[in-house]
Amino acid sequence: MPDAMIEPAPSPFPRVRSGDLTSDLDLTAAELRTLLDLAAEVKRQPNRFRLALRGRILSLLFEKPSLRTRMTFEVAAKQLGGDALLTTGPIGGREPVEDVARNLERWTDLIVARTFSQETVDALARYAKIPVVNALSDRYHPCQALADMQTLREQWGGWRGRKLAFVGDGNNVAHSLMLDAARLGLDFVCITPPGYEPDTKIVQMARQFAVETGALIEVTNNTEEGLRGAGAVYTDVWASMGFEHEAAERARVFAAYQVNRELMAMAGPGAFFLHCLPAHREEEVTADVIESPVSLVFEQAENRLHAQKALLLMLLDGPAH
C-alpha cells in the first residue's frame, strides 16, 4: 500500500513514565490498561501504524533460544516501519554489560533482552540511555503477561469477576501474571507443589495492588481448592531453561499437577486453557487439552505481536527524525 494511502497513526502515543520495561512494575496500573487498549487498537487496524516507528532500530540481545519472542519483536519492528538486529550469546561475556549498553545506545533506539538473570536486564537499563525491555528473565516475563491479559479480555470482555489459575512452578511467568492480574482486578491463584511457590515478596506486592482493585490473590498446594471457579487454567513447563538438571526430580514432584482433562474438570464450566509455549505434551499438559477447543495457546502467541507493538509505541517517540 503506498504511504499516501495509509491513514496516519494517532500521535503522540501515551508514554511509559519509567522509560523501560525491566519488570511488570515499570508500568503503572493506568499505563498497563492504556497499553492493552492500544494493543487492541493495533490489532484491529494494523495499517494505521505501518509508519509509526519508521527508521527505528531494535537491538535484540538473546542469551536463550527463542521462537515467539524473537519473531514477534522482529515482525513488530518491521510492521511498524522499523527494523531489528539480533545478537545471541552471553551478555557481558566478551565485555562488561555497561559497555554493551553504552555501545548499543549509540547505534539503536531500544534494547530487547532475553536473559538468564534479572540483574543483566537491570544493568542494561541502568547504563543505557535508550529504553530496555525485559523479554524474559529468571524473575519476570512481562511481555508474555501482557499478551495473556489481552487474550483473556478478548474472551471475557474484561477481567473483573473472573479467576485465573496458574498450575505448576511459581516461576517468572507466574510472577508477571500475578502482578498484572492484581492491578486489573482479576482474581489469581498460583497452585504449586510444596516448595515451589512464587516469591513471597512478589505475592505481597500483588496483594497490595489488589487492595485497590478488589482482586483476590492466592497461593495454594491444593489443586481442587485452587481451581474451584477458575475461568482459565494456565501452566508452563516444569523445568525452565537453566533448570534442566532438575528435570527428572521435577517430573516426579509435579506429576500430580499435570493439566489433563480431570484437572480441567475441577475448574469452572468451559474454562479456557493457556500456556506460554513451548509446551511439552504429556508432561505439564496432555495433548487432548492443548489441542482442545478451549485451548487459547495460539491466540496468546499471536497477541505477543500486538501487545509488543503497543509497548514499542509507548516506549519510543515516533519515527526517527
Residue 8 one-letter amino acid: P
Q: Which pLDDT score, from 0 to 100, does residue 8 have?
A: 57
> How big is the chain, counted in residues?
321
C-alpha–C-alpha distance, residues 233 and 250, integer Å:
20
CB atoms within 10 A of CB 131: 24
Per the annotation, the verdict on 190 as an active-site residue is no
Residue 227 one-letter amino acid: L
Catalytic entry in 139, 144, 169, 306: 144
Catalytic entry in 20, 138, 148, 236: 236
Residues 206 and 217 sit within 8 Å (Cβ to Cβ): yes
Per the annotation, the verdict on 155 as an active-site residue is no
Residue 12: enclosing H or E segment and its boundaries? none
CB atoms within 10 A of CB 97: 22
304-317 per-position pLDDT tens digit = 999 999 999 999 98
Alpha carbon distance, N-terminus to C-terminus of the chain: 23
Catalytic entry in 68, 139, 141, 306: 141
CB atoms within 10 A of CB 100: 24
Per the annotation, the verdict on 148 as an active-site residue is no
What is 144-300's CATH number? 3.40.50.1370
Catalytic entry in 114, 153, 250, 275: 114
Ranges of the chain with pLDDT below 70: 1-11, 241-242
Three-state SS string over 14-32 comes to CCCCCCCECCHHHCCHHHH
C-alpha–C-alpha distance, residues 1 and 29, integer Å:
37
Q: Where along the chain do the CATH 3.40.50.1370 domains lie? A: 3-141+304-315, 144-300
Q: Which pLDDT score, from 0 to 100, does residue 243 have?
A: 72
What grid cell was written down for 183? 492491578
Q: Which among 161, 213, 260, 288 is positioned nearest to 30, based on CA atoms?
A: 213
What is 3-141+304-315's CATH number? 3.40.50.1370
Question: What secondary structure does DSSP assign to 84-136, as a single string?
Answer: EEEEES-TTSSS-HHHHHHHHHHH-SEEEEE-S-HHHHHHHHHH-SS-EEEEE
Q: Which among 43, 69, 33 is positioned nearest to 309, based on CA atoms?
A: 43
Per the annotation, the verdict on 261 as an active-site residue is no
Q: Which pLDDT score, from 0 to 100, does residue 101 have?
A: 98
